[in-house]
Amino acid sequence: MILPITQQDSNTRSVKDLSVLLVSLFLAGCVTIPPDAFVVTPDLQQKRQVETRRYDGINEVDLVTASANVLQDLGFNLENSETKLGVITASKERDATQGMEIAATALASIFLFTPAAPVAAAYLIGSPAHSKDQTIRVALVVRPVIDSKGNSMTDNYFVRVTFQRIVRRTDNSIKAETLKDPQLYQDFFERLSKSVFLEAQKI
Amino acid sequence: MKSILPVFMLCVLLLSGCATTNQQILDIGDETQLQKRSYQSRAFETADKEKVLRAIISTLQDLGFVIDRADLMLGSISATKLDGNQIRITVSVRPKGDDRMLVRANAQFNVSPVEDPKQYQNFFSSLEKSLFLTAHAGE
């Protein structure tokens, strides 16, 4: 419905503006699911590499136990587990305040009293909220390595782990993300390897 | 006064689009239960429940989901994907006859149900690859 613009009636004009606003508000509510939400993209395949390690010469029970122990080492509380399927989920709540964010705000507040005030004010208005706290979630899955004939191998397992976090800001807005930093996963698997070693030695 | 009328009508139109509480709770839409089941289910030619469940878990992980819950006896897996938005999915497995497993999935995106059959088709074709089995139309 496109109304031609006429000069005579300012009322019509404002009605048109209002309709446009309403329609755009209405459309903004229609965020739809990404079309490739259930397709394995090359990007996701690469994530599999980062999130997976293979452990040989250990049985499934010992590997799941070692994994649960390492999650406790990292301060996680176990949420859910189904050891028959090799699944463990855990979570923890942590502070999420970042020194940089607070420092930037403090710095901008100081600059309010200098000639750079407009820039500082724009910054303060633009990003008033800080990260406040966060829930960190982890899911860890142990699965047997499948040989070329399609059978599960004994004492050869893959461990795949994924971290997510939900960050709450001071204005109560929420940011949810899956963590992608390869270094994080590298560090995690180093700790798991240690735990597997300890488990194997029954220490 | 005349100029208010279109705005008023638009508002009525917008509000009438809102579902009632009962409709929201029971997710009553345009499609029948049977239609929903048919695009949300597939049958796989295997009697190994554990194998299917493990394949579902690794497919979901490949798709960027984090597993929330798993239960071998009930045959169900729930998972969440967070990527600026939230997708939640529950997949259940139950035997169908002696040699088949019926896999059923239902998902929600943010606050609305996923009702596009294409999305489920994508999910099942990812699952096919990890199970090395062909999916057959369920129900």
Task: Tell me the pTM.
Answer: 0.73
Residue-wise pLDDT for B66-105, tens only, equals 999 999 999 999 999 998 889 999 999 999 989 999 999 9
Q: What single letter denotes the amino acid at residue B1?
A: M
Angle among Cα A92, A88, B95 to the nearest 5 degrees reads: 140
Q: Determine contact, residues B70/B57, Cβ cutoff 8 Å.
A: yes
Please answer yes or no on whether B87 and A137 come within 8 Å at the CB atom. Answer: no
Residue-wise pLDDT for A132-164, tens only, equals 889 999 999 999 998 888 788 889 999 999 999
Closest by Cβ to A139, choosing from B67, B116, B118: B67
Using alpha carbons, select from A81, A130, A54, A13 the residue that is nearest to residue B7.
A13
The region, left, alpha or beta by phi > 0 then psi within -120 to 50, assigned to residue B132 is left
As a whole-number percent, the residues of chain A with pLDDT over 90 amount to 37
Measure A34 CA to nearest chain B CA, in Å. Answer: 9
Q: What is the C-alpha separation between A89 and B61, in angstroms, rounded?
A: 13
More confident residue, B28 or A172: A172
Whether residue A197 has pLDDT greater than 80: yes
In this complex, is the C-beta atom of A10 within 8 Å of any C-beta atom belonging to chain B?
Answer: no
Helix (H) or strand (E) segment spanning residue A197:
helix A182-200
Q: What is the C-alpha separation between A164 and A2, in angstroms, rounded?
A: 45
DSSP per position, A183-196: HHHHHHHHHHHHHH
Per-residue pLDDT band for B112 (boundaries 50, 70, 90) equals: confident
Measure A15 CA to nearest chain B CA, in Å. Answer: 7
Q: Chain A 68-97, CB below 8 Å of chain B: which residues?
A: 80, 82, 84-87, 89
Q: At what angle do helices B49-62 and A42-51 cross, to 10 degrees?
A: 110
More confident residue, B33 or A162: A162
pLDDT of residue A163: 94
Per-residue pLDDT band for B138 (boundaries 50, 70, 90) equals: low
Q: Chain B 104-123, CB below 8 Å of chain A: which residues?
A: 109-110, 114, 116, 118-120, 122-123
Residue-wise pLDDT for A19-55, tens only, equals 655 555 555 556 788 888 899 888 888 999 999 999 9
In this complex, is the C-beta atom of B3 within 8 Å of any C-beta atom belonging to chain A?
Answer: yes
**Is this complex scored with an ipTM above 0.85?**
no
Tracing tokens 């590499």 back to the chain, one arrives at A49
Residues of chain B positioned with their CB less than 8 A from the CB of A176: 82-86
Please answer yes or no on whether A162 and B120 come within 8 Å at the CB atom. Answer: no
Residues of chain B positioned with their CB less than 8 A from the CB of A162: 61, 64-66
Closest by Cβ to B7, choosing from A19, A84, A138: A19
pLDDT of residue B118: 94
Tracing tokens 């089995």 back to the chain, one arrives at B133
More confident residue, A56 or A29: A56
Whether residue A102 has pLDDT greater than 80: no
Q: Determine contact, residues B80/B86, Cβ cutoff 8 Å.
A: yes
Q: DSSP H helical segments within A34-181, as ranges?
A: 42-51, 60-73, 99-111, 117-126
